[in-house]
Amino acid sequence: MYRLALLAWLALWLPSTALAALPAAVDGDSLPSLAPMLERTTPAVVNISTRGVAKTRQSPLLSDPFFRRFFDLPRRPRERKTHSLGSGVVVDERRGFVVTNHHVIENAQEIIVTLRDGRRLDAILVGADPETDVAVIKIPPTDLTALKFADSDTHKVGDFVVAIGNPFGLGQTVTSGIISAVGRTGLGIEGYEDFIQTDASINPGNSGGALVNLRGELLGINTAILAPSGGNVGIGFAIPSNMVRQVMDHVVKYGEVRRGQLGVSVQDLTPALAAAFDIPAQQGAVVVEVERDSPAGKVGLQPGDIVVAMNDRPVRSAADLRNSVGLLGIGQAVRMDILRTGKPRTLTARIAEPSDSLMPGRRLHRSLDGAVFGLTPLSGDRREKAVMVKELEPSSAAWSTGLRKGDIISHVNRQKVADMDDLMRLVRGNRDNLTLHMRRGKSSVYIIIR
């Protein structure tokens, strides 16, 4: 009886040929294959090789200008030659724009792009954003193939994906898998994290390559793997296409991402907090603090409010809110759907210049990388403030110029610095020759930056 049932089932589903002829029947049909999609997409994925020079890390004592002068040490820090190998994706064939990871082209003095057809092209850096690990380079726009951006917000766990890149320098390689998770944050890989996790094999050299859906659309830029030994174990991460596209728009327009401020401190909405607030929501960002005179403060956002959506996009966590704000342009409107005492409200604010926020030095000048600037009260009077070096990484570029934590910037090129706006305007307007006048304790210090 079982055999008869099996034969009846096969008769319904298989072609009307003998079972022994199954391979021939299958060969006569069109088998499912990724090959047609890959024929369209792989020409857009390129190999990137770089050469450059990086400063070697050394003792903070050896980086101190006074110490170096006292012992008559060479002024120029020791350097080492760097080489990197990665991947990139052509996203605009008309203008020749290629997106990749910032860490692929970091410290590069020469960038060579190799297309699938064997052409080797010199590339120039358009701009990069270390916070998201996205960079945009430009190649001659001749006979290029570009990938179309997918809407990464519409893809779900379980969707099939394909990773294309150049692992280990072997040449273009394709691997497949599924989306294992979305919205991965808190990994400490980048400043702004909203990763797509995939089990498609991503190995060294895949960085900057494409993660595509089965339509051949760019779903993400491969950026990292999670493996104790450095090899692939089925946990890879890609920067979502929507984040890549927003960063690219900023970088192409300004050469960098100009982040603004909303003026809030938030934390994740936990089940315990949801119960304490007596609300049904299980995801969101709880407002802990609102800065006075900030965009959020001006529209009436209050501590205890729960932000559940921004510009119609759900806010699942504090990291979600931070990512959304960090990718909005200065002056751009943001609509926040909030819960206040369990009742829904909508507030609309406008992202402001981060004049009262901390400012990474790398956003101002390459020689200020490693420093973080912010406002500090003067002489105990909180109404009068000055720009201070709030944080400083030892052996960084900023340290090597002579900056020290606690320095107060009073003048740039003999023009007074009263606030962060002044610092940005004066430094960005005179990148090639800067003289900083600072107060250090009871002394005054001049530093020249070239």
CA–CA distance, 185 with 323 (Å, rounded to integer): 10
Query: What is the structure's pLDDT at 16?
Result: 41
For residue 59, how far is the Cα from the chain centroid? 30
Q: Can you tell me the distance from the alpha carbon of 10 to that of 376, in angstroms, rounded to the nearest whole number?
A: 79
Domains of the chain from N-terminus onward: 39-138 (2.40.10.120), 152-254 (2.40.10.10), 264-350 (2.30.42.10), 359-449 (2.30.42.10)
Query: What is the tens place of the pLDDT at every residue in 338-356?
Result: 888 888 899 988 888 765 5
Q: Sorting pLDDT into bands at 50, 70 and 90, what band is 96?
A: very high
| 178: enclosing H helix or E strand | strand 173-184
Contacts of 294 (CB under 8 A, 6+ apart): 261, 262, 263, 264, 352, 356
Interval 121-180: pLDDT, tens:
999 999 888 888 899 999 999 999 999 999 988 888 999 999 998 876 667 888 889 999
Q: What gap in Å lies between CA 208 and CA 106, rounded to an integer?
A: 12
92 assigned to active site: no
pLDDT tier, 93 (very low <50, low <70, confident <90, very high otherwise) = very high
Q: How many residues does the chain have?
A: 450
**Is residue 403 scored above 50 in pLDDT?**
yes
Per the CB < 8 A criterion, the answer to whether 373 and 423 are in contact is yes
For residues 243 and 67, which has the higher predicted lDDT (pLDDT)?
Answer: 243
For residue 206, give the nearest of 175, 229, 184 by alpha carbon.
175
Percent pLDDT > 70 in the chain is 78
- Using pLDDT thresholds of 50, 70 and 90, give the confidence band for residue 84: confident
Task: Write down the pLDDT at residue 385.
Answer: 75
Residue in 102, 103, 155, 365 annotated catalytic: 103
DSSP state of 77: P
Residue from 49, 84, 129, 133 carrying the catalytic annotation:
133
- As given in the structure block, the two tokens for residue 349 are 């604010």
Q: Catalytic residue at 103?
A: yes
| Averaged confidence pLDDT in the chain | 79
For residue 238, count other CB atoms closer than 10 A to its CB.
Answer: 28
In the predicted structure, residue 206 carries a pLDDT above the cut 50: yes
Task: State residue 3's pLDDT score.
Answer: 44
According to the model, what pLDDT value does residue 213 have?
Answer: 93
Kindly tell me if the per-residue pLDDT of 219 is higher than 90. yes
Cα–Cα nearest to 263, from 295, 305, 288: 295
133 is catalytic: yes
In the set 49, 63, 180, 207, the catalytic residue is 207
Evaluate if residue 62 carries a pLDDT over 60. Answer: no
pLDDT on residue 45: 93
Given this model, what pLDDT does residue 418 score? 83
Tens of pLDDT, residue by residue over 4-57, are 444 444 444 444 434 333 343 455 666 778 888 999 999 999 999 888 766 554
Q: Provide φ and ψ at 85, rounded to 5°.
A: -135, 130
When comparing pLDDT for 197 and 190, which is higher?
197
